[in-house]
Amino acid sequence: MQETVIILDFGGQYNQLIARRVRECNVYCEVKNYKTPIEEIKKIAPQGIIFTGGPNSVYLEDSPHIDKEIFTLGVPVLGICYGCQLMAYTLGGEVSAAQTREYGKTSTKFDNDSPIFKDLPENGITWMSHTDHISKLPESFISVAHSDNCPVAAMQNTEKKLYGIQFHPEVMHTENGVEMLRNFLYNVCECSGDWSMSNYAKTAIREIREKVGEGKVLLALSGGVDSSVLAALLSKAVGSKLTCIFVDHGLMRKNEGDEVEQAFADWDINFVRVNAKDKFLAKLAGVDDPETKRKIIGEEFIRVFEAEAKKIGTVDFLAQGTIYPDVIESGAGDAAVIKSHHNVGGLPDYVDFKEIIEPLRLLFKDEVRQLGSELGLAEYLIRRQPFPGPGLAIRIIGDITEEKISLLQDADFIFREEIANAGLDRDIHQYFAVLTSMRSVGVMGDSRTYDYTLALRGVTTTDFMTADFARIPYDVLAKISNRIVNEVAHINRIVYDITTKPPSTIEWE
C-alpha cells in the first residue's frame, strides 16, 4: 500500500503547490476539501495531514473550521498559515489581528531542536502573508520560530505530533522550505518515500493490463502532453488493443499534424489520423465570435471522432487524459467560467463504450512529463507547451480563412524558432503569435502596403491561472519582427503583448 499524506484545503492559493512539494519529496499525497468527513480520512490511514493556508480569519463564525477529533487520531498534523492558526484556535490558543501585518520576505529565527528545523540554519528568510497571528499558544505547545513581528512563527507539541508554521514553506521565497516539509514527512510522519515515477509506471502498466484484459481501448490523441503520455502508457500496457484517433482539424501549428503522426509511427498501437480541415473550415466560414468558434470546433470534433470511432465498433474502454489538477475539489468552491475550454472531456455521451479509464488522474503536470520520460516518449512531445483545443482558430481574431491560417502558421513558426535559438524556450512557458484582423499602412520598398498586424504573446506562469508577460530581450524581438515581416507576406506590423493575466487572458479569444 502506498504511503499517503492528506492535504486539507482551506482555500489557500498554494494548495496545489504544497501537494507538488510533498510529492517532490517522494511522498504521495492527495488534496481534499477541509469538509472531508473524518471517517473517510481514517479509512485512508494517512501517514500525516497538512492543513493549507486560507484567506479567512479563524475567529469569524463563517470561516472554515475543523473537528477537534482530527488532532486525536495519533496522525501527525502540520498546519500552514491559516492551518497553523486554526490548529492553535481549535486547541484553545488565541488568534487575533496582529498590530503589524507581515507580508513578503521576512527574516526568521528557528529553534533547531524542533524536528521540522533539524539540521537547517538557525536564521533564514521565510515568506509571510498574514494579518492575524497567534497571540496565545494552546496548552502544551511551544514556539519554535519567531520573527521581529511574530513571536509564534512556528509552534509544536512533539508528544502529540502537532506542528504549525505561520509562513509558507512551499513557496520558493522561503529558504529551505522544501527541507522543512521533508523534515515533517520523514522526521515526524516517518515516511519512507515510496512515491517515484518508475514505481508509478510499473504499477499503472500492471493495473491497466489487468483491467483491460482482451478489451479494446480508444483514445482521442491531440498531440498535447497529457494525451501523448497516456498513449505511451497504454501502448506499453496493452499495445495493439489501443486505437488512437487523432483528429487534425487543420488548425494546428505549422507541420504539427505530421509531427504527431511521426512521433507515434514506431509505437505498437493503431493510429488513425483524420484529416478534417475542410469540414472544420466549412463550419467556421464567416464566424467571428470567439465563443461561437469554440462551440463549433468542440461539436465538430465530437462528430468527426464519433464517425471514426463507429468504424471500430463497440470499444470496452475510453481512455481520458484527465490529470490531478482537474479532479481536485477546491476548499474555496467553484470559480467562474471565463472561456468554454474545449478538450476531450465532452466525449463520453457520444461514443459507444463500457467504461472510462483515466490512468493519469493522480498526477500533476510535471509528473506526467516525468512519466513520459520514463516511458521513452520523444522529448519534444513531453516538453510541448500548452496548445488550446480550438487551435489557431482562437488565435485568428475574427473570421478564419485558409490564407490567414497559413500566414499565422508561418509567422508563429518563425517566432518559436527564434525563441529557441535565443535559448529562451524553457524560460517562457507559453509563446505564440496571434493574427489580429486589424490592418494598417506600411511601406515596403517604395510601395505603400495595407496589411495585417501580428501580435506576439509570451508568458511566464506557474499554473496558467495567472501569468506575467515574458521579458523577451529587445534584440530578440527585433530579430523576430524583422524575419516575420520579411519572410511572411501580408504582415507589415508586429506588436508585443505586455499585459498580465489578469486582467487579460493568455489567449486572445
Could you give the residue numbers annotated as active site? 81, 168, 170
Q: Please list every residue from 345 through 404 that binds ligand XMP, using CB under 6 A.
A: 386, 388-390
Name the DSSP letter for residue 34: T
User: Which residues have CB under 8 Å from 98's CB, separation 6+?
Assistant: 130, 131, 132, 133, 149, 150
3-state SS, residue 127: strand
Name which of 253 and 342 has its Cβ closer to ligand XMP: 342
Specify the stretch interacting with ligand XMP by CB under 6 A; choose among 269-277, 340-348, 440-448, 477-485: 340-348
* In the complex, least distance from residue 265 CB atom to ligand XMP, rounded to whole angstroms: 25
Cell of 360: 493519469
Interface region with ligand XMP, contact rule CB under 6 A, candidates 10-18, 232-240, 304-312, 339-347:
339-347
Give the nearer residue to ligand XMP in terms of CB position, either 136 or 341.
Answer: 341
Least separation in angstroms between CB 290 and ligand XMP: 10
Query: Would you put residue 62 in left (φ > 0), alpha (ψ -120 to 50) or beta?
Result: alpha
The CB density around residue 190, as the number of other CB atoms within 10 Å, is 12
Residue 48: what are its φ and ψ, rounded to 5°? -165, 165
Contact 163, 116 (CB under 8 A): yes
Which residues between 490 and 509 bind ligand XMP (CB under 6 A)?
501, 505-507
User: What whole-number distance in Å separates Cα of residue 430 and Cα of residue 427?
Assistant: 9
Query: Binding residue for ligand XMP (CB under 6 A) from 21, 23, 254, 342?
Result: 342
Closest approach of Cβ 201 to ligand XMP, in Å? 25
Using the minimum distance from each CB to ligand XMP, give the nearer residue, 421 or 505. Answer: 505
Binding letters toward ligand XMP, positions 247-286, x by CB under 6 A: ----------------------------------------
Given 341, 354, 361, 383, the residue binding ligand XMP (CB under 6 A):
341
Cα 291 to Cα 278: distance, rounded to the nearest angstrom: 20
> Residue 464, interface with ligand XMP (CB under 6 A)?
yes
The span from the CA of 52 to the CA of 87, in Å, is 11
Say how many residues touch ligand XMP, by CB under 6 A.
15
Task: Name residues whose C-beta falls within 8 Å of residue 468's C-beta, 6 or more positions apart in sequence.
Answer: 459, 460, 461, 500
**Backbone torsion region of residue 272, taken as left when φ is above 0, otherwise alpha when ψ lies between -120 and 50, otherwise beta:** beta
Nearest to 168 by CA among 84, 71, 96: 84
Q: Point out which span in 208-216, 319-327, 336-344, 450-458 binds ligand XMP (CB under 6 A).
A: 336-344
Binding mask 423-442 for ligand XMP (x = CB under 6 A): -------x------------
Between 473 and 502, name the residue whose CB sits nearer to ligand XMP: 502
Residue at 118: amino acid letter? K
Of the two residues 141 and 301, which places its CB atom closer to ligand XMP in the complex?
Answer: 301
To ligand XMP, the closest distance from the beta carbon of 243 in angstroms equals 22
Could you tell me the smallest distance in angstroms from the CB atom of residue 233 to ligand XMP? 20
Match 463500457 to its residue by C-alpha cell: 354
77 versus 408: smaller Cβ distance to ligand XMP: 408
Per CB under 6 A, 55 contacts ligand XMP = no
CB 298, min distance to ligand XMP, A: 8
Exposure of 508 by Cβ count < 10 A (0-12 exposed, 13-18 middle, 19+ buried)? middle
From residue 213, give the alpha-carbon distance in Å to each of 144, 197, 203, 238, 405. 55, 24, 15, 8, 43
Judged by beta carbon, residue 288 or residue 507, the one nearer ligand XMP is 507
The C-alpha cell at 408 is: 499565422
Q: In the numeric block, which cell numbers belong to residue 146?
A: 519567531
Least distance to ligand XMP, CB of residue 429, Å:
8
Q: Is residue 339 at the binding interface for ligand XMP, with CB under 6 A as the rule?
A: yes
Cα dist. 246→274, 297, 384, 408 in Å?
Answer: 6, 15, 17, 22
**Residues at the interface with ligand XMP (CB under 6 A):** 338-339, 341-343, 386, 388-390, 430, 464, 501, 505-507
